[in-house]
Structure 1
Amino acid sequence: MTLPKLELCAALLLAKLLSIVIKSYEGSLKVDEVFAWSDSTVVLHWIRSSPYRWKSFVSNRTAQIQELVPPDRWGYVKSQDNPADCASRGLSPSGLLDHSLWWAGPPWLQSMDPIEKTCGPPIKEIPTDEERQVVLSTFTSLNAFSKEFLVRKFKIFDQIVLSQ
């Protein structure tokens, strides 16, 4: 499995987790807006595009993500500002206790208003081998050709008695 596909699985996990948490608190807490963040521009490109563009693995997961969290609610966070990466960068559990990025997120996120949060950087077209290839097959009915033409042309039916 490629790294972008693993990142896509992480985005799906986040979308499912957000959905579960919101449903769990819906009686006691009103959630107006939800924002999700990824440090993978490839994943954001997939999420912000039609799922039908992609091969099955990416298509199925992006469709699920889009049902749970709208594409315009996904933003980009640089890897160095991503709190989710703190634990994977080798920080010990005791190191996480006083790690401000882990507990509060990046400082710029706290100072943003909701309109800025929805405006992630534009994601340009990223070349990927996950795009579906469209194949168009055409055929012509044999009725368009006369049987005599086929016999003369290919000489494979010369034993067949032609009847009209």
Structure 2
Amino acid sequence: MQGKFTIPKLELNAFTLAARLTNWILNELQPSLDIQGVYVFVRNLSVEINNISNDIAEKVSFVRCGYVVSGDNPADCTRRRYGGG
């Protein structure tokens, strides 16, 4: 492995993994469920993550990415000590 892992790289990897898993789950569930939309919550959309989200959105028309205020973002629940801690 070359180079160090930076926060944007780790976030990009996490976002890419989440997008791939979401796409796989949708493909599995689509025949039996009427899925109207999918939401992916992230805390920080750096330039790299924004680029990959735009690329994914071009390939998969039903994915929308955007900023969610930290207080309303389910991805921040553990950081805010909701539900266990």
Aligned to 2:25: 21
Whole-angstrom distance in 1 between the partners of 2:14 and 2:49: 12
Q: Deviations over 1:43-64 (max 9, x none)?
A: 5532366xxxxxxxxxxxxx5x
Q: How does 1:12-91 map to 2 (within 5 A)?
A: 12-42=16-46, 43-47=48-52, 63=55, 65-66=56-57, 69-70=60-61, 73-87=64-78, 89=79, 91=81
RMSD after superposition? 3.1
- Greater Rg over alpha carbons, structure: 1
**Which runs of 5 or more residues in structure 2 are unaligned?**
none
TM-score (norm 1): 0.38
TM-score (norm 2): 0.62
The runs of 4+ residues in structure 1 deviating greater than 3 Å are: 65-70
Asked whether 1:96 is paired with 2:83, we answer yes
Confirm or deny: 8 A CA contact 2:57 2:64 kept in the other structure: no
Whole-angstrom distance in 2 between the partners of 1:31 and 1:6: 29
Q: Give the share of equivalent positions with the same residue, in percent.
A: 37
